[in-house]
Amino acid sequence: MAFVNPVLKTVERAVEDSTLVSINYNKLKALARRYYKENLELPKWDAPVFPNYATDETIDFLMTGCAINFQYMDFQTKARYKTEYNSIHFTGAFGMWADLKRAVEEGVPVLDGSYLAHVKYHELYEKVFKGRPEIPMLETRTIVLREVGEVLVEKYGGHFHNLYRQLEEKQSPVRIFDNGNGFLERLTTDFRTFRDTGKHGNRKVIFNKKAQLATAMVYEKFLAFGKELFPAEDTEYMTVFANYELPKIFNMEGVLIYDPGLANKIENGIVITYGKREEVEIRANTIWAAKILQDEINKLRRGKNKVNALHVDYKLWMEGRKYKEKLHHFTPTDAY
């Protein structure tokens, strides 16, 4: 392969120079010994808030949702976003996905770039995000969707699935990474909202959480229907998706060790600014620790039933969700 994911390379440098966050490798190995016998699966995204089919519209749905998949907690009140869909209450990210699915079913053209390019705040408030109180950062979500819509109209005939179909005409199979022309790479090149980078000292650190998650969700959803949109080996180059839940569970397990001042901020819900050293180190060390965890699990499995970052991410994410009372770091951002 001519190109590999730059995330690991850039986070490794940040981890080496970290001063506020460190990794306890003994705890990490102990965690691997607990996990390696478990059946670590890929998510199927078969909850009621997702489409129960795998078509071009599914690509549009998942990609549009991932573009606005960020912050669901009011960091002042600590209240999580909640909405109702088909008489069931959904919170957090699942609340957003429920809103999006309801909107599609009600005929709101939220998967059409020509609509999104001109969508207004009040339309999203009244027709899409119907949970109350208002979903956090709705103004930012409006801006993101308008930017996405403009790019979709300009380059992809108004729909995300055309990004995949355009690549399909040139590649067989469509690659996730392909020297700048892979599916994930096109996301980060063409859409501002899918570019997720920071700086550690003078060095650039690449995370691309939403771009990697969007690619993974499309891959996993179609795989559940027996369709492989990307070569399985391409997923081996991906990393976990550095968000709020993964560092939380790593810290609870003693894997991530925080400087006392940083630990105090997290424990007391003090906002940590996106892109600041402490926030960059939390995410960089999370990705690196997950990579080591993946490697340790595979060593223990002796080459059988190998896992990749997608398996590890899903396991850690599910573990983190068990401890909703435990505070994660508070960083207002549209990156994750």
SS (H, E, C) 213-277: HHHHHHHHHHHCCCCCCCCHHHHHHCCCCCCCHHHHHHHHCCCEEECHHHHHHHHCCCECCCCCH
- The DSSP-derived string for 151-166 is HHHHHSTT-THHHHHH
pLDDT score for 1: 47
The three-state secondary structure class of 179 is coil
Q: Write the CA distances from 46 to 52, 131, 164, integer angstroms.
A: 7, 22, 22
Is 329 part of a structural domain of the chain? no
Is 12 part of a structural domain of the chain? yes
Are 121 and 139 within 8 A, CB to CB?
yes
pLDDT score for 5: 82
Buried b (16+ CB within 10 A) or exposed e, 304-315: eeebbbbbbbbb
Is 29 part of a structural domain of the chain? yes
How do residues 294-313 score in pLDDT, each as one tens digit?
999 999 999 899 999 999 99
Question: Which residues are within 8 A (CB) of 20 and not within 5 positions of it... i.e. 6 or more apart?
Answer: 258, 259, 261, 262, 277, 278, 281
Cβ count within 10 A of residue 278? 20
To the nearest 10 degrees (0 to 180), the angle between helices 161-170 and 183-190 is 130
How distant is the alpha carbon of residue 52 from its chain centre? 21
How do residues 59-91 score in pLDDT, each as one tens digit?
999 999 999 999 999 999 999 999 999 999 999
Round to whole Å and give the CA distance between 321 and 176: 28
CA nearest neighbour of 187 among 167, 172, 173, 169: 167
Is 219 part of a structural domain of the chain? yes
pLDDT score for 107: 98
CA angle, corner 131, sides to 126 and 135, nearest 5?
Answer: 85
Strands 88-91 and 256-258 turn out to be unpaired
Is 40 part of a structural domain of the chain? yes
Q: How many CA atoms lie within 13 A of 52 on its CB side?
A: 4
Per DSSP, what are the bridge partners of residue 80? 73
pLDDT score for 193: 98
CA nearest neighbour of 180 among 10, 335, 2: 2
Cβ count within 10 A of residue 201? 11
Is 330 part of a structural domain of the chain? no
Residues of the chain with pLDDT under 50: 1-2
Peptide bond into 173 cis (omega under 30): yes
Q: How many CA atoms lie within 13 A of 315 on its CB side?
A: 21
How do residues 230-248 score in pLDDT, each as one tens digit?
999 999 999 999 999 999 9
H or E element, residue 64? helix 56-67
Q: Which residue is listed with tokens 């390019």?
A: 117
Domain hosting residue 125, numbered range: 7-321
pLDDT score for 4: 67
Q: How many domains does the chain have?
A: 1
Is 198 part of a structural domain of the chain? yes
Are 109 and 73 within 8 A, CB to CB?
no
Is 261 part of a structural domain of the chain? yes
